[in-house]
Each structure stands twice: as structure tokens, then as C-alpha cells.
């Protein structure tokens, strides 16, 4: 009987040890829990840092692009306002007769020099004059069709008359060249 009690006692101790092992296994190790919390916090700060770094890089790129656009296209309003000045000077030169050229050569030379200087300033600031010629193909990116007419000896889409020149600031269209376009001849 004493042996049976000893065996029961040992079985009870084994059961108690197994129960305690289960309890310790179910409970987290406080040191490991602290380490896990620190790792989770580090990962959160790393994620925030990477997002902030990406935001800063995107901001830098956006501000650089805005600066370039302001540098290239900041004067577009002034350039648009100068286009009629070019048109008027060009018209003035185109209407001069040979008789007037002989009588007022100094005045005409002054107008021509002023037009050349205006073109030089345009070129310096990236403004190009779009000068289509009769017979060129119509390009809706840089031309504005003012009328369409069937003209024998032309293909549909050919420019048949130029009414006004256009202007491009770097790659941006300021004003389309005004042209007449051939439709399909009858």
C-alpha cells in the first residue's frame, strides 16, 4: 500500500509538472515580449521614415519640375502679348513699295532692324516663329484652319494660303499659324 501511495504521489507530481509546463508554455516570456514590442516599434518607425524619405524625394522632384516650367514658360503671357507687335512690324515691311524704300530708306531700315532684334529676343527666350508655306501639309498641332476650299492641283490637307504666323515657346504652342486648307478637289 505504501508503494501504491508512492506511485500515486509520483503520478500526482508528474501531472503537476505537466500542468506547470503547459502553464509556462502558454505564458509569454516577459523578456521575449519586450523584445517583440521593441522590434514592432522599430519596424513602425522604419516604415514612417521610408515614407517620409519618399515624400521628401517626390517633393524635391516636383519643385524641380515646377522651377523648370516657371523658367521655361513663365514669360508665355508676355510672349503672347508680343506676337501682335511682330505681326504689325511684319505687315509694315511687307507693304513697303520700291518707291517708298528709296524715299525713306533710313526709316525702313530702322523698322527692319527692330524686327530682327525682336526675332533675336524671341530666339534668346525660346520663342520660335511657325511659318508655314503654301503647299505644306496641314498639322493641327501647330496650324489653325481658317477655311477649307477645293483647289485644283492640290491634295486634301495641303495649305493653300497663310494668313498669320504662329509661335511656339519651347515645346508649348502659344499661337497656332492661321492657314487655309485644301479640301478634296471636285
Residue 5 phi, psi (nearest 5): -65, -40
From start to end of 78-155, where are the E strands? 127-130, 143-150
State pTM to two decimals: 0.64
Tally the domains of the chain. 2
Q: What share of the chain is helix, strand, coil (3-state, %, to 5)?
A: 60, 20, 20
What's the confidence (pLDDT) of residue 31? 82
Query: Same structural domain for residues 15 and 35?
Result: yes
- Res. 15 pLDDT band, cuts 50 70 90: confident
What's the confidence (pLDDT) of residue 134? 92
For residue 111, give its domain range: 74-183
What residues contact residue 17 under an 8 Å CB cut-off, 6+ apart?
none
Statement: residue 9 has pLDDT above 70: no
Last residue of a domain, one of 46, 69, 92: 69
Query: Same structural domain for residues 142 and 159?
Result: yes
Amino acid at each position: 500500500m505504501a508503494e501504491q501511495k508512492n506511485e500515486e504521489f509520483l503520478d500526482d507530481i508528474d501531472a503537476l509538472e505537466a500542468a506547470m509546463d503547459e502553464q509556462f508554455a502558454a505564458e509569454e516570456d516577459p523578456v521575449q515580449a519586450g523584445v517583440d514590442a521593441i522590434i514592432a516599434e522599430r519596424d513602425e518607425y522604419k516604415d514612417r521614415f521610408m515614407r517620409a524619405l519618399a515624400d521628401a524625394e517626390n517633393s524635391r522632384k516636383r519643385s524641380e519640375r515646377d522651377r523648370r516650367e516657371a523658367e521655361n514658360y513663365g514669360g508665355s503671357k508676355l510672349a503672347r502679348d508680343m506676337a501682335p507687335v511682330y505681326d504689325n512690324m511684319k505687315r509694315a515691311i511687307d507693304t513697303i513699295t520700291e518707291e517708298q524704300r528709296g524715299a525713306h530708306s533710313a526709316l525702313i531700315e530702322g523698322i527692319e532692324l527692330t524686327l530682327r532684334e525682336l526675332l533675336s529676343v524671341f530666339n534668346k527666350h525660346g520663342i520660335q516663329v511657325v511659318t508655314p508655306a503654301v503647299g505644306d501639309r496641314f498639322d493641327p498641332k501647330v496650324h489653325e484652319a481658317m477655311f477649307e476650299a477645293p483647289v485644283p492641283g492640290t491634295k486634301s490637307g495641303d495649305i493653300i494660303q497663310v494668313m498669320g504666323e504662329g509661335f511656339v515657346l519651347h515645346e508649348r504652342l502659344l499661337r497656332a499659324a492661321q492657314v487655309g486648307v485644301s479640301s478634296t478637289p471636285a
